[in-house]
């Protein structure tokens, strides 16, 4: 009986040690509220814009400014969650839809992202998973477009209004 109590006491001490020792690590995992976009430290700083043949300012082909040049995003595995990330990055509250097959015209130059997967909680498209920057088997006939809601995020300001522009091509 004494040995059993000794083992139980030792297990309790060990569990207490682990909870005290590991508590800062477990708290670090929950720094961000589950309802707020996270800000990954490893994600590169990018800009996004909506371009192409369109009727409204809140729709167009998605282009990304990365490594000093603009490029497009392929529609493979794109989703409404990814569209929500793009729209929020542009200052809109949410996406209404996403459009495949270069409906807003074919881009030129690099196809920066392919097989983009977002949860919808990301603060920027760069935080979503993908094949990697510039790794794509797409053609510009697969450039993705989005339609953002017309509702703006209150108080939203672009990081760089000259780069992060909406333009008509």
Tokens of 97: 């839809």
Backbone angles phi, psi at 146, to 5 degrees: -135, 155
Average pLDDT score, the chain: 78
Q: Can you list the alpha helix ranges (DSSP code H) found in the chain?
A: 2-28, 80-89
* Residue 18 CB partners (closer than 8 Å, separation 6+): none
**Whole-number Å distance between alpha carbons of 51 and 30:** 37
Between 76 and 3, the higher pLDDT residue? 76
Residue with tokens 């881009």: 107
H/E run at residue 117? none
Q: Is the pLDDT of residue 129 over 80?
A: yes
Give 11-58 pLDDT, tens digit per residue. Answer: 444 444 333 333 332 222 222 333 334 444 578 899 999 999 888 999
Between 118 and 4, the higher pLDDT residue? 118
Give 55-106 pLDDT, tens digit per residue. Answer: 899 999 999 999 999 999 999 999 999 999 999 999 999 999 999 999 999 9
pTM: 0.71
The pLDDT of residue 117 is 97
Neighbouring-strand partners of residue 163: none
The pLDDT of residue 111 is 97
- Distance in angstroms between the alpha carbons of the first and the last residue of the chain: 83
The pLDDT of residue 25 is 28
Q: Is the pLDDT of residue 114 over 80?
A: yes
Q: Can you list the alpha helix ranges (DSSP code H) found in 29-139?
A: 80-89
Give 144-168 pLDDT, tens digit per residue. Answer: 999 999 999 998 886 654 444 444 3
DSSP state of 82: H
**Whole-number Å distance between alpha carbons of 59 and 37:** 22
Q: Is the pLDDT of residue 135 over 90?
A: yes
Between 6 and 33, the higher pLDDT residue? 6
């Amino acid at each position: 009986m004494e040995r059993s109590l000794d083992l139980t006491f030792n297990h309790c001490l060990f569990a207490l040690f682990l909870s005290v020792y590991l508590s800062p690590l477990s708290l670090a995992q929950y720094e961000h509220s589950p309802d707020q976009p996270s800000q990954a430290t490893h994600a590169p700083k990018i800009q996004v814009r909506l371009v192409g043949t369109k009727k409204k300012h809140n729709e167009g082909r998605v282009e990304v400014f990365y490594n000093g040049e603009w490029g497009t995003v392929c529609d493979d595995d794109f989703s409404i969650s990814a569209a929500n990330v793009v729209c929020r990055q542009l200052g809109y509250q949410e996406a209404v839809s996403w459009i495949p097959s270069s409906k807003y015209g074919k881009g030129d130059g690099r196809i920066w992202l392919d097989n983009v997967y977002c949860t919808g909680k990301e603060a920027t498209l760069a935080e979503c998973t993908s094949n990697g920057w510039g790794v794509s088997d797409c053609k510009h006939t697969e450039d993705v477009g989005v339609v953002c809601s017309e509702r703006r995020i209150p108080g939203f300001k672009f990081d760089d209004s000259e780069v992060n522009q909406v333009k008509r091509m």
